[in-house]
C-alpha cells in the first residue's frame, strides 16, 4: 500500500540546514491504522505532507499502490490526490461561506460528478459521521467536534484508499476527541480504510493498530500489536497499575 524508501528532507533556515527526515524506511499495508508520534520537530508532519504529495523529498521515494507520487506532474498529482487520498487537518480547513453539505461535496464537484450521485453520497456520508440535520448549517454554527466530522466526511467522499490525518483531535477536548477517534476507528474497521494519523497524544494513538515513533528525523520505534495471547493477565496488570 505505502512504501517509503530512504526518504530524506531538509530545510534551509538562514545559514543553517536542518535535516528533518533522515533516511526513513517504512511499509504500511492496506487496512492498517497507523499513528506517527514524536516530539515537535521530529519530522512527523513533514513525513505526512510528503506522503500526501503536499511536499517533495530531497531524495528517496514514496510509493502509494506502486505509484511514485513525486514522479507525477502537477495536474496528475492533484488528480491522484483527489481520487486516492483523504486529508484531515487539526484546524478542519473548512470553507466558512459554504454549508456542511457544500463543504463535503466540494471534491466531487471538482470531478464533475453527476448531481444525483453527489446528493446520494453526501447524504450517506452525513449519516455515517452523525451529522444528520446539520446539512444546511455553516461551520461557524457547529462545535469543534462537529466541524471535524465535516472534515472527515469531506475526506471520505471520494472513497479514498488512504486517509492522512494531521493531529485530528489536536483542537478538541478529550471527550469530543474520543468521539472523533471512535468515528475514525469505526470507519477504519467497517470500510477497511488505511489511515495514517500524526499525533503527539498517546491516548489518540491508542485507537490505532500500530505506533511509529519518530525522533530527530528517523524511526526510533515501530510497535505493532501482537494478537496472540494478548489478554493473558491483562486485567491483573491493569489492576496492579491502578493500585501502584
Partner 1 sequence: MSVKYGILTILSQSPKHRYDLKVTLENMMYKQWTLNPGQVYSTIDRLVRDKLVEEVSNAENDLKLYQITKNGREEVERWLQNPIEVLLLHDEFFFKILCAKRLNFDLLNKMIFQQKEAVIKKILQLHYLRKELENTAESEAMLYLIEGGLLHLEADLKWMDMISDLEGY
Interaction site with partner 1 (CB under 8 A)? 39, 185, 202-203, 205-211, 213, 220-221, 223-227, 230-244
Are the beta carbons of 38 and 216 closer than 8 angstroms?
Answer: no
Least distance CB 73 / partner 1 (angstroms): 40
What are the contacts of 49-56 at 24+ separation with CB within 8 A?
50/7, 50/9, 50/21, 51/2, 51/4, 51/164, 51/196, 52/81, 52/85, 52/87, 52/164, 53/77, 53/80, 53/81, 53/85, 55/9
The residue (of 23 and 216) whose beta carbon lies closer to partner 1 is 216
The nearest distance, CB 239 to partner 1, in angstroms, is 4
Work out how close the CB of 242 gets to partner 1 at its nearest, in angstroms, rounded to a whole number. Answer: 5
Nearer to partner 1 by Cβ, of 75 and 241: the residue is 241
Q: Cβ closer to partner 1: 66 or 231? A: 231
Cβ proximity to partner 1, 14 vs 244, nearer residue: 244
Cβ distance 92 to 169 under 8 Å? Answer: no
Q: Is 115 left (phi over 0), alpha (psi -120 to 50) or beta?
A: alpha
Taking the complex as a whole, how short is the minimal distance between the CB of residue 82 and partner 1, in angstroms? Answer: 32
Amino acid at each position: 500500500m505505502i512504501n517509503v524508501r530512504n526518504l530524506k528532507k531538509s530545510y534551509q533556515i538562514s545559514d543553517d540546514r536542518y535535516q528533518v527526515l533522515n533516511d526513513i524506511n517504512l511499509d504500511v499495508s492496506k487496512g492498517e491504522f497507523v499513528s506517527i508520534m514524536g516530539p515537535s520537530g521530529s519530522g512527523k508532519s513533514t513525513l505526512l505532507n510528503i506522503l500526501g504529495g503536499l511536499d517533495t523529498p530531497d531524495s528517496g521515494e514514496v510509493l502509494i499502490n506502486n505509484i511514485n507520487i513525486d514522479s507525477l506532474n502537477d495536474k496528475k498529482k492533484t488528480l491522484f490526490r483527489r481520487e486516492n487520498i483523504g486529508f484531515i487537518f487539526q484546524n478542519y480547513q473548512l470553507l466558512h461561506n459554504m454549508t456542511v453539505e457544500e463543504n463535503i461535496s466540494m471534491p466531487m464537484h471538482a470531478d464533475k460528478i453527476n448531481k444525483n450521485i453527489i446528493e446520494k453520497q453526501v447524504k450517506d456520508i452525513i449519516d455515517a459521521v452523525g451529522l444528520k440535520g446539520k446539512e444546511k448549517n455553516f461551520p461557524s454554527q457547529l462545535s469543534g467536534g462537529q466541524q471535524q466530522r465535516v472534515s472527515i466526511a469531506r475526506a471520505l467522499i471520494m472513497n479514498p484508499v488512504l486517509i492522512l490525518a494531521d493531529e485530528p483531535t489536536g483542537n478538541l477536548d478529550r471527550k469530543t476527541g474520543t468521539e472523533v477517534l471512535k468515528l475514525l476507528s469505526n470507519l477504519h474497521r467497517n470500510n477497511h480504510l488505511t489511515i495514517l494519523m500524526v499525533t503527539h497524544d498517546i491516548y489518540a494513538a491508542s485507537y490505532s493498530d500500530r505506533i511509529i515513533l519518530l525522533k530527530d528525523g528517523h524511526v526510533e520505534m515501530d510497535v505493532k500489536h501482537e494478537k496472540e495471547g494478548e489478554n493473558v493477565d491483562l486485567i491483573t496488570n491493569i489492576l496492579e497499575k491502578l493500585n501502584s
